[in-house]
Homo-oligomer: A and B are copies of this chain.
Amino acid sequence: MKAFDFLNVPDNNGITMVMDKGLPPSYIDDYLKVCGEYITFVKFGWGTSAVQDKEIVKEKIKIYKKHNIKAYAGGTLFELCHSKGLYDEYLKECKELGFGCIEISDGSMELSKEDRKNAIRKAKQNGFIVLSEVGKKSIEEDSKLTTEDRINIINEDLRAGSDFVIMEGRESGKSIGLFDEKGNLKDKEFKKMLEYIDTNKIIFEAPNKNQQVEFILSIGSNVNLGNIAYEEVISLKTLRTGLRGDTFGKI
């Protein structure tokens, strides 16, 4: 039972994806007691899992599983392995470590449409949940993608079998994807995108509070949000439920 349960705080089921960029096991175990129930996915950011001991990665994934949280390695690691012709080894290692999902992306390299589709299909065939990501890590490269491009990639990925498509926001949330250099949502691009996509299938990376607020107020409490810092999971839940000034009385 929650504190102040007489308030009957409305529930919601938007996906929350958090970022683990090298957290220690006991800390995770401790933190999830407070907020574990509000997390759907955890991403071991970019290639961070490859510089951590195998046994620690396994231990962390087990802790997440206890709380029904699905873990996956960042897309950058997929890209490195795929570009070296090691995709099969990658899938095998992910399975052995206990990762339940695979992220397919081309943020730092070129990936042909055909290779992208095949990578998605192969991960699905191997029993993984697939999250594919749209966007480039470099500001210059990312700015070359038009809104139409992004919409097309989203819908092609979903047809190829992706369970969810992630809109790139990076850890900073600035000058990338739907965000301008101050981290504000680009209104025109965002509205256009909403006409052509199914938001239930999209996870918007939204590391900063103002972005979380904008997505919640425009799409609703159930919007799927990602790249949430650990310490912000409880805050995000209050934003989704009108328990913080920014969304108070607006949910």
Partner-B contacts on A (CB < 8 A) = 1-7, 9, 21-27, 30-35, 38, 45-54, 56-57, 73, 76-77, 79-81, 84, 86, 89-90, 93, 97, 107-109, 137-138, 170, 231-235, 237-238, 241-246, 248-249
A245 to B51, CA, bound (A): 15
Q: B residues within 8 A CB of A47?
A: 238, 241, 243-244
Known: A24-B30, A25-B33, A137-B248. A93 touches B6 (CB 8 A): yes
Contact present for A137 and B3 (CB under 8 Å): no
Selected contact of A51 from candidates B9, B22, B73, CB within 8 Å: B9
Known contacts A3-B49, A7-B84, A21-B232; 16 further A-B pairs (Cβ under 8 A) = A2-B51, A2-B52, A3-B93, A4-B50, A6-B89, A21-B231, A26-B30, A27-B30, A33-B56, A46-B243, A48-B234, A50-B241, A51-B238, A76-B244, A76-B248, A80-B242
Contact present for B21 and A234 (CB under 8 Å): yes
Contact present for B54 and A5 (CB under 8 Å): yes
Contact present for B52 and A21 (CB under 8 Å): no
Contact present for A34 and B30 (CB under 8 Å): no
Give chain B nearest CB distance to A98 CB in angstroms.
10
Residue of B nearest to A233 (CB): B22
Q: List 22 A-B contacts (CB under 8 A).
A: A1-B53, A2-B50, A3-B53, A4-B93, A6-B93, A7-B80, A22-B35, A22-B234, A24-B33, A33-B56, A46-B245, A47-B243, A48-B235, A48-B238, A50-B241, A51-B234, A51-B238, A80-B242, A108-B248, A109-B248, A137-B245, A137-B246
A89 to B5, CA, bound (A): 10
Q: B residues within 8 A CB of A5?
A: 54
Could you say which of A46, A233, A238, A241 has the most chain B C-beta atoms within 10 Å of its C-beta?
Answer: A238
A225 to B76, CA, bound (A): 24
A3 to B60, CA, bound (A): 12
Q: B residues within 8 A CB of A76?
A: 243-245, 248
Contact present for A46 and B238 (CB under 8 Å): yes
Residue of B nearest to A4 (CB): B50
Q: B residues within 8 A CB of A244?
A: 46-47, 76
A232 to B24, CA, bound (A): 13
